[in-house]
Amino acid sequence: MVAPTSTPPTARGALEKREAKLAWGLLAPTIAIVSLVILLPLLAIFWISFKPVGLSDLRPVSTVVRESLRSRGDDYRIEYRVRNSSQDKPIEGARFEDTIPDGVTLLEVPEACSLDGAALACDFGDLPGGFNERLRIPVLLDGDPDALEDVVEGSEPVRYGTGDNVLTNTHFTLDNFTRIFDSSEFMSVLWATTFYTVVGTIGALVVGLFAALLLNKSFAGKGILRGLYLFPYVSPIIAVAFTWVALLDPFSGSLNALLVQMGVADSPINFFGQRPQALIMVTVFEIWRYFPLSFLFILARMQSIDTDMYEAADMDGASPFQKFWYLSLPMLLGILSVLFLLRFIWTFNKFDDIFLLTGGNAGTRTLTVNVYEQAFAISNIGAGAAVAVVIFAVLLCFSFFFFRYISQEEGL
């Protein structure tokens, strides 16, 4: 009998190394692309959060030159409007060069300019912030004025000059974070975010679990009912948000009219316009809109559970609650943990729902809404980026806690 041959350990180790290199080589482009997509915006947010950046600072400081041909009667002139694009930052070595087209003769040259043949060069030195000046040079035209106007205004002067760019310089500050944490509204914003995220996440899971328990049976019309359950999740957010606002409007909403007629309320309730109803209602909207996602995952997991356990429990006389608590729930903990992680992160980052319902008013301003208001409502990009860094830090701590403790307990 011939003994079977085996691959020597050395050869097997070399083969595994070559396979590992090949696998990493094939994955390298994907890893590089994903890293760029994720890391570059993240690094940019961190960079901007330590800089005093406003909306006006997003445009680089540069020399702006606009050229036009003007006329007053039979007198023509070329106007150069020269300005500093920044209102507070100077430009060093500001100048421009332009080529005078054929058929246009300069009658005089400004003091800051020089003419060499058809080449016009104007040197302004250092321009202070907010600099704005017009150079009016009288000219003599030889040809059709309209055609020459198109030629003059169609040529772009070459501009020079350097200015400090707050986005690329090495000046950093903690003023953005100081402004955020010293704000009197920060704690209320943090409370609104915590309430909206925790209650919205748990509520979506609980409602999804009950919906899955109801539809984990065989009855007529089950498919239609499942489709109706998915309606909140698949509907356009702007359509359902407008519907909720219209239904709950204190003046023309049908719900308020029904509550007043039934005697439940003495006067219409401003659900989205006063505290604490506004925060409660946007949280209820979050639960209503996103429970179908939990419902789908939980129902799929429940239908994969072996029915023999329930039959044995029935023979032992277990009640429906006991079967759920001791049989179904332990089998669902894994999917519930994953759903809790995903829904917590998504809800914490949610912006459009709250913005469409309340605009962040009446105590519903969360951290994500605060990012928008800091960056665009008051034009402080640096403060908005600082709030985004706070959001990232909170989610990073939550993810660490989840994977360090909860996922290990559930075997994930």
Q: What is the DSSP string of 248-313?
A: T-TTT-HHHHHHHHTTS-SS---TTTSTTHHHHHHHHHHHHHHHHHHHHHHHHHHTTS-THHHHHH
Question: In this structure, how many other beta carbons lie within 10 angstroms of the beta carbon of residue 358?
Answer: 22
Q: What is the pLDDT of residue 110?
A: 87
In a domain, 374, yes or no: no
3-state secondary structure of 74: coil
For residue 129, the 8-state DSSP code is: T
Q: What is the pLDDT of residues 34-68, one digit of tens each?
A: 878 888 888 889 999 998 888 777 777 888 999 99
Domain co-membership, 78 together with 211: no
Residue 135, exposed/middle/buried by CB under 10 A (0-12, 13-18, 19+)?
buried
Q: What is the pTM of this model?
A: 0.77
Domain co-membership, 124 together with 206: no
In a domain, 178, yes or no: no
Single residue among 163, 194, 225 that ends a domain in this structure: 163
In a domain, 379, yes or no: no
Q: What is the pLDDT of residue 27?
A: 85
3-state secondary structure of 126: strand
User: How many domains does the chain fold into?
Assistant: 2
Token duo for residue 274: 């006063």
In a domain, 381, yes or no: no
Give 365's strand partners.
none
Q: What is the pLDDT of residue 12?
A: 59
Domain co-membership, 259 together with 303: yes
Cβ distance 288 to 243 under 8 Å?
A: no
**Which CATH number do you get for residue 157?**
2.60.40.290
Q: What is the pLDDT of residue 406?
A: 66
Quick one: how far is CA 119 from the chain centroid? 48
Q: Which amino acid is at 320?
A: P
Distance CA 133, CA 127 (A): 10
Q: Which amino acid is at 284?
A: V
Give 122's strand partners.
96, 113
Which residues contact residue 208 at a Cβ distance below 8 angstroms, ignoring those fewer than 6 apart? 291, 292, 293, 294, 295, 297, 298, 339
Closest listed residue to residue 159, CA positions, set 85, 94, 113: 94
Single residue among 347, 364, 381 that ends a domain in this structure: 364
Q: What is the pLDDT of residue 353?
A: 92
Token duo for residue 380: 């402080």
Domain co-membership, 245 together with 115: no
Domain co-membership, 197 together with 344: yes
Closest listed residue to residue 161, CA positions, set 57, 82, 80, 98: 82
Domain co-membership, 230 together with 312: yes
C-alpha dist (Å) from residue 313 to 305, 321, 327, 376 = 14, 11, 9, 60
In a domain, 5, yes or no: no
Asked, as a colleague might, if the bond just before 320 is cis with ω within 30 of 0, I would say no
Distance CA 276, CA 273 (A): 9
C-alpha dist (Å) from residue 265 to 4, 72, 306, 316 = 87, 73, 49, 50
Domain co-membership, 222 together with 355: yes
* Domain span at 303: 186-364
The strand ranges marked E within 2-157 are: 63-72, 75-84, 91-99, 104-106, 113-116, 119-127, 132-141
Q: What is the pLDDT of residue 97?
A: 92
In a domain, 393, yes or no: no
**Which CATH number do you get for residue 267?**
1.10.3720.10
In a domain, 200, yes or no: yes
Domain co-membership, 133 together with 196: no
Q: What is the pLDDT of residue 207?
A: 94
Domain co-membership, 293 together with 342: yes
Residue whose token pair is 């060499």: 116
Cβ distance 34 to 65 under 8 Å?
A: no
For residue 387, the 8-state DSSP code is: H
Cβ distance 52 to 173 under 8 Å?
A: yes
Domain co-membership, 157 together with 199: no
Domain co-membership, 142 together with 227: no
Low-confidence stretches of the chain (pLDDT beneath 50): 411
Q: What is the pLDDT of residue 191?
A: 93
